[in-house]
Amino acid sequence: MTTNPASDPVLSIVPADGLIDEERRIVVTGLALDELVAISARTRRSGGSDWDSQVTCLADAQGVVDLTRDAPVGGDYAEVSPMGLLWGQHPSGGAGDEIFADDVMQPLVTTLTAETADGRRAGAELIQRFAAPGVTRREIREEGLVGTLFTPAGPGPHPVVVVLNGSGGGINEPRGALLASRGYQAFALGYFKAPGLSPYITETPLEYLETGLGWVRRTLSPRNGFVAVSGQSRGGELALLMGATFPDLVSAVIAYVPGAMVHGAQGAGDPARGGWHGVTWTRGGAALPHLWQDNAAVHWHPWAGDAPPDRHHSVFFEGLKDRDLAARARIPVENITGPVLLISGRDDRAWPSSLYSRMVVSTLRRHGHPHLVRHLDFDDAGHAINLPFVPTTQLAREHPVSKVPYTSGGTPSGNAGADRGSWRGVLEFLDEITGR
């Protein structure tokens, strides 16, 4: 028995309102057997930019399309994916590439529309929240620190995660808010390109990060003294460096697409202080040796203003050929005294995060590291591993500091899988080591 083709379609989303990491079931009913329906999604994002996606689907014998079961027959993705309408979105017109809201305490609202060839339509709203009910946000401007504290609902104390951004700088509030929504007090700490801080990563003192860790321990009284550090890209390099430099202050390290050694300032560097080859980290006023410091093997780099190569990570393989310098620049991860989680993409075209993560794992094993070490390495994923169920289609973009274009790698589908899998892996890792 088929559905009356003249009936109006119904578009349902379950749950319609939830946290951004919650998968939804999107279903269209009221169609005819084998009727085609176009399903579109539009989200208003930072600065008023619209992001859009659309797929065409074929109804079954009951006049139903269920995106948890049915692959599109055409459109912006081509597989069974309950959330493909979200990760498959592209910015419309000249919209910017910022995928998060200006205010993480406000939800992202996506309007879904289902339309048949004869013009019958149905609509619904899908709401994605970063902050669960009761999560609080507080700006921190103490002891020279610049960050945002997110606290879960309910009585504390809570385990704490310090959240660091990458070479784009700023404060990673979306990840902080979502961690707090999942029961962890999160201190999203800026270390450059944030109010009152340097616009460049060049010569960032590790003492600033040490101050942040001390502030967390004194002020927040973490449950069982647990303070993890989580960072992305250059922040992943920094997270490993903090764990190795301040082992008594760091309980665990979560390193997204990290470097296994200290690098020069690269695309986030101050042109007046060495640019790409400038010093990134200092301690006690002295520069930490880095991979671009008179490297004998590197004869080019992708930030010189020429047309960028497709795979920027080639320069890092070249840099590692200067073995003496690589040994001096290596992060001594064997000094870390807690669990370590590494997250990488096998098609990372910004730098070889999969190789770097394997180097860290190998070093820890050689030194008999007594704590949990886990490496999540994702096929068809690049450098931009993010929160789940956000757009993954911007594979080439402009660096937010240097303004030079670069390619992050991966495929939209592979990156979406890494977003989902890495976030699930982070929560499992944290829950396991904190006993929650």
Instruction: Enumerate the active-site residues.
Output: 233, 348, 383
Cross-strand bridge partners of residue 186: 150, 161
Mutual angle of helices 234-245 and 206-220, in 10-degree steps: 70
- End-to-end C-alpha distance for the chain, whole angstroms: 50
Are 349 and 308 in contact by the 8 Å Cβ rule? The answer is no
What are the start-end ranges of the H helices in 221-264? 234-245
**What is the separation of C-alpha 380 from the centre of its chain, rounded to a whole number of angstroms?**
16
Convert 31-65 to b/e letters by CB count within 10 Å (16 or more is b).
bbeebbbbbbbbbebeeebebbbbbebbbbeebbb
Taking alpha carbons only, the member of 135, 130, 16, 152 closest to residue 387 is 130
Distances in whole angstroms, Cα of residue 40 to Cα of each of 88, 262, 318, 369: 11, 44, 45, 50
Residue 254 CB neighbours (<10 A)? 29
What does the longest C-alpha to C-alpha distance in the chain come to?
78
Taking alpha carbons only, the member of 186, 271, 263 closest to residue 228 is 186
Are 140 and 150 in contact by the 8 Å Cβ rule? The answer is no
What gap in Å lies between CA 12 and CA 24, rounded to an integer? Answer: 10
Taking alpha carbons only, the member of 280, 299, 300 closest to residue 289 is 280
